[in-house]
Amino acid sequence: MDFLVSTSADGTRVLLWPNLAQLWIWFMMYSVIGWLWEVALSFLQGRGFVNRGFLNGPYCPVYGTGALLVVHLLGGLTNPLLIFLAAAVITTTLEYLTSYVMEKLFDGRWWDYSDKPLNINSRVYATGSIAFGSLSLLVIRFVQPWFSRLTALLNPALLYVVAGGSALIVSLDLTHTVIQLIDFKHLLSELHRLSATHPLDRIEDSRLVRFLKKRRSQSRRWLHAFPRIRFDKLEQGLKRLKEFLEDES
What is the residue extent of each domain of the chain?
Answer: 2-161, 170-248
Contact 147, 138 (CB under 8 A): no
Who's near 35: CB < 8 A, 6+ residues apart? Answer: 52, 53, 58, 59, 60, 63
Across 145-171, average pLDDT: 89
pLDDT computed for residue 58 by the predictor: 94
Given a cut of 90, whether residue 184 has pLDDT beyond it is no
In percent, the amount of the chain with pLDDT more than 90 equals 42
Cross-strand bridge partners of residue 13: 7
User: Comparing 85-99, 122-136, 202-216, which segment has the lowest mean pLDDT?
Assistant: 202-216
Q: Residue 109 and residue 226: Cα distance in Å, rounded?
A: 9
Given a cut of 80, whether residue 203 has pLDDT beyond it is no
Res. 15 pLDDT band, cuts 50 70 90:
very low
Across 51-61, average pLDDT: 91
* DSSP alpha helix (H) spans, 10-79: 20-44, 61-74
Q: Which residue has the higher pLDDT, 142 or 233?
A: 142
Across 28-34, average pLDDT: 96
Whole-number average pLDDT of the chain: 84
Q: Residue 210 and residue 205: Cα distance in Å, rounded?
A: 7
Decide: pTM greater than 0.75: yes
Res. 175 pLDDT band, cuts 50 70 90:
very high
Across 70-90, average pLDDT: 94
87-103 burial, b for 16+ CB within 10 Å, e for fewer? bbebbbebbeebbeebb
pLDDT computed for residue 206 by the predictor: 58
Residues present in the chain in total = 249
Name the most confidently modeled range: 50-59, 63-72, 108-117, 206-215: 63-72
